[in-house]
């Protein structure tokens, strides 16, 4: 059930230019899963709407969340200045998440670009079975392909604990020059199942790649959101099937998503 709760900042640090990592102690961690997000409330009246930020990681005892975010405006700029011990209000847990059971016993490829990289960290942990003492391995093999603009990468060392990591960069300063599809081609990668998060051009390419090979692909759509709970209809995407509520070929990304099977959406 979605609710607004108070949390406490544990630490907040810059891990790449304009990219920050914030750990928050909050009860929402108990129910949080990979691919879901929370709404973070800035304190200024001019930025009253919560900022939707994907969950990057959950600690082992499920008492804290990690959010990795890029400064994109006043709200996220304010978040970047919050110090340890500061009280912060969150709305959550929001959205659906990645369907991990689909990967049981299969080889999985995790594809992410830019600020779409953080959500796949918790996903990689859970698929590998290394996120807690009582966990079990789900995927038989995990290949992770991440794309950056340049050598200012982030979360690479963490991701390398849970799978084989391949990197692409637009300027060629790290890994394969180009995008993640170039890295997939260069390393001759394939999988039984794909999970992805990133900018729309990347997701369109992944959708086509999956369809050409008849592979199931779960994509997390990055869209601007306002309310985060489906009331404003500000983040609607076109779907292949008619929604049983609205009777049109639309879905609300914040509530019906953000994760969809690629064949379900027209992007």
SS (H, E, C) 118-174: CHHHHHHHHHHCCCCCCCCCCCCEEEEEEEECCCCCCCHHHHCCCCEEEEEECCCCC
Q: CA-CA distances (angstroms) from residue 38 to 3, 76, 228, 239?
A: 10, 13, 8, 24
The counts of H helices and E strands in the chain are 6, 15
| Closest by CA position to 37, among listed 89, 96, 84, 81 | 96
Each residue's pLDDT tens digit in the chain (267 positions)?
Answer: 689 999 999 999 999 999 999 999 999 999 999 999 999 998 765 556 788 899 999 999 999 999 999 998 888 899 999 999 999 999 989 989 999 999 999 999 999 999 999 999 999 999 999 876 567 899 999 999 999 999 999 999 999 999 999 999 999 999 999 999 999 999 999 999 999 999 999 999 999 999 999 999 999 986 555 555 555 555 555 566 665 666 555 655 556 658 888 888 777
Which CATH code is given to the segment(s) 3-94?
A: 2.40.30.10
Predicted local distance difference test score (pLDDT) of residue 121: 97
Which of 191, 190, 220, 189 lies closest to 105, judged by CA? 191
Instruction: Enumerate long-range contacts of 240-246, CB under 8 Å, 24 or more apart.
Output: 240/264, 240/265, 240/266
Other CB atoms within 10 A of residue 238 CB: 11
Query: Where do we find the tokens 């603009």?
Result: 149
218 beta partners: 195, 261
Look up tokens 């978040």; give the residue: 79
pLDDT at 245: 62
Does domain 223-267 fall under CATH 2.10.240.10? My reply is yes
Domain boundaries, the chain: 3-94, 100-221, 223-267
pTM of the model: 0.89
For residue 163 the two structure tokens come to 């799978």
Close Cβ partners of 61 (under 8 Å, ≥ 6 residues apart):
none
Q: Are strands 107-113 and 141-148 parallel, antiparallel or unpaired?
A: parallel
Question: Topology of 100-221 in CATH?
Answer: Rossmann fold (3.40.50)
Pairing verdict, β 259-261 and 216-221: antiparallel
The pair phi, psi for residue 153, each rounded to 5°, is -85, 170
Distance CA 68, CA 14 (A): 9
């Amino acid at each position: 059930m979605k609710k607004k709760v108070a949390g406490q900042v544990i630490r907040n640090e810059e891990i790449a230019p304009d990219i920050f990592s914030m750990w928050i102690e909050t009860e929402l961690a108990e129910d949080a899963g990979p691919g879901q997000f929370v709404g973070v409330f800035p304190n200024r009246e001019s930025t009253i709407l919560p900022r939707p930020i994907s969950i990057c990681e959950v600690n082992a005892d499920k008492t804290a969340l990690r959010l990795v975010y890029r400064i994109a405006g006043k709200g996220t700029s304010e978040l970047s200045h919050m110090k340890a011990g500061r009280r912060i209000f969150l709305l959550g847990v929001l959205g659906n998440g990645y369907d991990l059971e689909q990967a049981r016993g299969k080889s999985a490829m995790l594809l992410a670009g830019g600020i779409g990289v953080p959500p796949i960290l918790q996903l990689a942990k859970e698929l590998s079975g290394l996120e807690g003492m009582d966990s079990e391995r789900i995927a038989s093999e995990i290949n992770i392909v991440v794309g950056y603009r340049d050598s200012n990468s982030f979360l690479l060392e963490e991701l390398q604990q849970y799978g084989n990591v391949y990197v692409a960069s637009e300027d060629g300063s790290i890994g394969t020059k180009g995008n993640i599809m170039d890295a997939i081609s260069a390393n001759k990668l394939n999988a039984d199942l794909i999970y992805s998060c990133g900018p729309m051009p990347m997701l369109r390419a992944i959708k086509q790649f999956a369809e050409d090979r008849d592979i199931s692909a779960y994509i997390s759509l990055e869209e601007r959101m306002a309310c985060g709970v489906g009331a404003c209809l500000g983040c609607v995407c076109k779907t292949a099937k008619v929604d049983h509520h609205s009777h049109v070929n639309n879905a609300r990304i914040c509530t019906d998503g953000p994760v969809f099977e690629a064949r379900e959406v027209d992007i």
